Structure 1
Amino acid sequence: MNIRNNLIRLISKNERLLIVTKQIRIKFLMYFGKLVSDKAYIKLQYRLRLGKKLNLANPTLFNEKVQYAKLYYRNPMLKSLVDKYEVRKYVKEKIGEKYLTKLYGVYDRVDDIVFDKLPEKFVMKLTNGSSYNYICPLKNYDTQTEIEYRFKKWITVDFYMLGREWAYKDVKNRIICEELLETSDVNGLNDYKIFCFDGVPKLIQVDFSRFINHKRNFYTPEWEFIDEEVEYENDSTAKIQKPKNLEEMLKCAHILSEGFPQVRVDFYDVDGRIVFGEMTFYHGAGYLHFKNPKFELEMGEYWNV
Structure 2
Amino acid sequence: MTKISKLIGRETLNSMMKLFAFIPDKLYLRLMYRVRMGKKLNLEDPKTFNEKLQWLKLYNRKPEYTAMVDKYEAKEYVANKIGEKYIIPTLGVWDSFDEIDFNKLPNQFVLKCTHDSGGLVICRDKNLLDMNTARKKIVKSLKSNFYWVGREWPYKDVKPRIIAEQYIEDSCVRELRDYKIYCFNGKAKFLYLSEGMENHDTARISFVNLDWTPADFRRNDYKEFEKLPKKPEHLDDIIMLAENLAKNQAFIRVDFYEVNNRVYFGELTFFPGSGFTLFASDEDDLRIGQMLDIEL
The TM-score, its normalising length taken from structure 2, stands at 0.90
SS of 1:217's equivalent? Answer: strand
Aligned counterpart, 1:156: 143
Given candidates 14, 31, 36, the residue that maps to 2:23 is 36
Aligned counterpart, 2:49: 62
Aligned counterpart, 1:260: 249
Matched ranges for 1:12-51 at <5 A: 26-31=14-19, 33-51=20-38
Contact 2:118 2:141 (8 Å CA) reproduced: no
Give a deviation string over 1:164-215, Cα, whole Å, max 9, x none: 1111112211111101111123362211000001221101101134445322
Give a deviation string over 1:27-82, Cα, whole Å, max 9, x none: 43222x22311111111111011100000000010000111111111111111000
Contact 1:227 1:234 (8 Å CA) reproduced: no
Give a deviation string over 1:130-186, Cα, whole Å, max 9, x none: 132000001127544333222122100011111111111122111111011111233
Aligned residues: 283
In the aligned structure 2, how far is the partner of 1:281 from the partner of 1:83?
12
In the aligned structure 2, how far is the partner of 1:173 from the partner of 1:157?
8
In the aligned structure 1, how far is the partner of 2:172 from the partner of 2:130?
27
In the aligned structure 1, how far is the partner of 2:208 from the partner of 2:164?
31
Contact 1:62 1:299 (8 Å CA) reproduced: yes
Matched ranges for 1:185-200 at <5 A: 185-186=172-173, 188-200=175-187
Contact 2:48 2:290 (8 Å CA) reproduced: yes
Question: CA 1:242–1:174 in 2, change beyond 3 Å: closer, same or farther?
Answer: same
Matched ranges for 1:32-181 at <5 A: 33-140=20-127, 142-181=129-168
SS of 1:224's equivalent? Answer: coil
Higher Cα radius of gyration: 1
Matching of residue 204 in structure 1 with residue 194 in structure 2: no
Question: CA 1:149–1:203 in 2, change beyond 3 Å: closer, same or farther?
Answer: same
Question: CA 1:229–1:239 in 2, change beyond 3 Å: closer, same or farther?
Answer: closer
In the aligned structure 1, how far is the partner of 2:10 from the partner of 2:110?
21
Aligned counterpart, 1:232: 222
SS of 1:176's equivalent? Answer: strand
In the aligned structure 2, how far is the partner of 1:254 from the partner of 1:61?
22
Q: 5+ unaligned residues in a row in structure 2: which ranges? A: 1-8
The TM-score, its normalising length taken from structure 1, stands at 0.87
In the aligned structure 2, how far is the partner of 1:192 from the partner of 1:93?
21
Specify the code of the residue in structure 1 equivalent to 2:267.
E
In the aligned structure 1, how far is the partner of 2:278 from the partner of 2:191?
17
How much has 1:25 moved relative to structure 2?
Answer: 5.3
Aligned counterpart, 1:12: none
Question: CA 1:142–1:298 in 2, change beyond 3 Å: closer, same or farther?
Answer: closer
Question: CA 1:121–1:86 in 2, change beyond 3 Å: closer, same or farther?
Answer: same
In the aligned structure 2, how far is the partner of 1:244 from the partner of 1:121?
26
In the aligned structure 1, how far is the partner of 2:71 from the partner of 2:235?
23
SS of 2:126's equivalent? Answer: coil
Given candidates 257, 260, 269, the residue that maps to 2:258 is 269
Question: CA 1:98–1:226 in 2, change beyond 3 Å: closer, same or farther?
Answer: same
Question: CA 1:28–1:234 in 2, change beyond 3 Å: closer, same or farther?
Answer: closer
Given candidates 177, 180, 203, the residue that maps to 1:214 is 203
Contact 1:228 1:234 (8 Å CA) reproduced: no
Aligned counterpart, 2:5: none
Question: CA 1:221–1:261 in 2, change beyond 3 Å: closer, same or farther?
Answer: same
In the aligned structure 2, how far is the partner of 1:296 from the partner of 1:99?
32
In the aligned structure 1, how far is the partner of 2:195 from the partner of 2:40?
32
Contact 2:182 2:252 (8 Å CA) reproduced: yes
SS of 2:110's equivalent? Answer: strand
Aligned counterpart, 1:244: 233
Question: Aligned residues: percent identity?
Answer: 39
Specify the code of the residue in structure 1 equivalent to 2:224.
N
